[in-house]
Amino acid sequence: MPHPADHDTLALPGAAPIKLWTHGVPVEEAARTQLIHTARLPIIYKHLAVMPDVHLGKGSTIGSVIPTLGAIIPAAVGVDIGCGMMAVRTTLDAADLPDKLHGLRSAIEKAVPHGRDMTRGKRDHGSWGKPPASVDAAWKRLQPGFRRLVERAPRLEKTNNHSHLGTLGTGNHFIEVCLDEAGRVWFMLHSGSRGVGNAIGRHYIELAQADMRQHLANLPDRDLAYFTEGAQHFDDYVEAVGWAQDFARTNRELMMAHLIDAARHVIKKPFTADQQAVNCHHNYVQKETHFGREVFITRKGAVSAQAGQLGIIPGSMGAASYIVRGKGNPESFCSCSHGAGRVMSRTAARKQFTVDDQVRATAGVECRKDAEVIDEIPMAYKDIDAVMEAQAGLVEVVYRLRQVVCVKG
C-alpha cells in the first residue's frame, strides 16, 4: 500500500510546487496545464495539493486544494458553492427492502424535486411549486442573510432560492439507497446551493475580473482573478460564500428528511436513520491553520480529511462508494478526493456510449437507463478503487457501499 507521503511533486520555476496523489490514475494534460497556471499565482501558500480524481475544470482544476494567503479566487470555489455529500446509516438490512425497488425509487422521485425543464410559462419540475412547511421554516432562517446579500447585489433577488431549497438539481447530483459490506441500508445524496449559489458564484467571478481588469493580462487565465483582503468586495464575497454553504448544507438535510419520510411509506419495517451521519462540502472555501499560518483553503472537488473526520467519496452510478476517516495528512492540507473524477467530458461520453452500454453498466441498480443519463455512465469516470488506492495515505476506509437505487437529476 502507498506510504502516507506517497505523492509526486511537480516543481517549476516561478510557480509554487504541485503535489499530486495520482499514482495509478490518469491525469489529462489540460488539467496539468491548468494546475501550473494556478501555481503561478503570487497568492499561493506553500504548494497545491492534487487529489487522484483530478480533471479539467472551469477556472481551476477539479480535485485540487488551493491554499491562499490573504486572498480568495471566486472561480476556484466555483458556481456550485457548498456542493457536497450527505449519508446516513439506517437500522434496516437488505432483507427489509422490497423485492421490487422501482416503487422505492418512484417514492423518492416524488418526494424530492429533481432534474430541470424550462418550458416557457410553466414551473420547472426541478423546483417547488408550493414548498412544504419544512422548506418554508428553513428558508425563514436563511432569509435574513439573503436579504443582506441582495442589498449588495440586487440581481440575486430574482434567482431560484426558496423554490430550490430541498431540491436535487441535474448533472452528477444524485440520491442513492446503498448497502454496506454487512448488508446494512444507507441513504446517500449529492447536491449543493442550486440556482442561488450559481448566481452568487457568477456575480462575484465577474466582479473579481472587473476589479482586476488592469491585471488580467498578467494572469495565466482570467478565471484566476481574485479578491484580496481589504479590497472592496472581499468581505462581501466571504459573507456570500458562507451563506451559500449554509444553504447547501440545509438543502441536503431537507432532502434527506424527505427521502427518509418517503422510504417509510414504502418500507413496512419501522427504522431510524441517524447512525454515522455525515454531511460534508467538497466545493468551498474556509479559513484554516496549516504549517503554523492561518490561510484560506479552497477545496475544488476535494473533501476535508482531518484526523478522525468522517467523509464521503462516491463512485459513479454502478460503482462502489466509500465512507472514509481522515488521516490528517498535513501535506494534502488534510484533504482527500471528492469522488472518482471524470476521464471524459459529458459530450464525449454521449458520443462513445449507447443506452445498451448504460443498461449493462448499471445492472442490478434500480435507476434510469435512457439516453439522458449516458453522460453519467460509469465508464466516463476513473476507477474508484484505483482512486482510493492512490490516496491510502490520506484516508482509511470505514465502509464500502454499493448502490441498489439511484435517482439522477
Asked whether the beta carbons of 68 and 295 are under 8 A apart, the reply is yes
The three state secondary structure string of 168-194 is CCCCCCEEEEEECCCCEEEEEEEECCH
Q: Which long-range contacts (CB under 8 A, 24 or more apart) does 152-158 make?
A: 152/236, 153/200, 153/203, 153/236, 153/240, 155/199, 155/203, 156/196, 156/199, 156/200, 156/203
Options 55, 203, 281, 338, the catalytic residue: 338
Asked whether the beta carbons of 262 and 98 are under 8 A apart, the reply is no
**CA–CA gap between residue 338 and residue 345 (Å, rounded):** 18
Asked if residue 80 belongs to a known ligand binding site, the reply is yes
Question: Is residue 338 flagged as an active site residue?
Answer: yes
Asked if residue 315 belongs to a known ligand binding site, the reply is yes
Asked if residue 338 belongs to a known ligand binding site, the reply is yes
Asked if residue 136 belongs to a known ligand binding site, the reply is no
Q: How far is CA 115 from CA 112, 270, 315, 338, in A?
A: 10, 30, 20, 22
The string of DSSP codes covering 102-150 is: HHHHHHHHHHS--S----TTS--TTS-SS--HHHHHHHHHHHHHHHHHH
Asked if residue 239 belongs to a known ligand binding site, the reply is no
Asked if residue 341 belongs to a known ligand binding site, the reply is yes
Q: Where does residue 218 rank: exposed (0-12), middle (13-18), buried (19+ CB within 10 A)?
A: exposed
Expressed in angstroms, the distance from the first to the final Cα of the chain is 37
Question: What's 44's DSSP letter?
Answer: B
Asked if residue 282 belongs to a known ligand binding site, the reply is yes
Which triple of cell numbers denotes residue 366? 434500480
**CA–CA gap between residue 291 and residue 281 (Å, rounded):** 23
Asked if residue 113 belongs to a known ligand binding site, the reply is no
Asked if residue 126 belongs to a known ligand binding site, the reply is no
Asked if residue 314 belongs to a known ligand binding site, the reply is yes
Amino acid of residue 282: H
Asked if residue 145 belongs to a known ligand binding site, the reply is no
Residue matched to cell numbers 458564484: 201
Asked if residue 408 belongs to a known ligand binding site, the reply is yes
Is the dihedral angle over the CA atoms 144, 149, 155, 156 positive or is it negative?
A: negative
Asked if residue 49 belongs to a known ligand binding site, the reply is no
Question: What's 155's DSSP letter?
Answer: G
**384: Cβ contacts below 8 Å, ≥ 6 apart:** 313, 315, 316, 319, 320, 321, 322, 339, 340
Closest alpha carbon to 373 in 359, 383, 386: 359
Asked if residue 162 belongs to a known ligand binding site, the reply is no
Extract the annotated binding site for Mn(2+): 80, 173, 190, 282
Extract the annotated binding site: 80, 172-176, 190, 282-283, 314-317, 321, 338-341, 408
Extract the annotated binding site for GMP: 172-176, 282-283, 314-317, 321, 338-341, 408
Residues with catalytic roles: 338
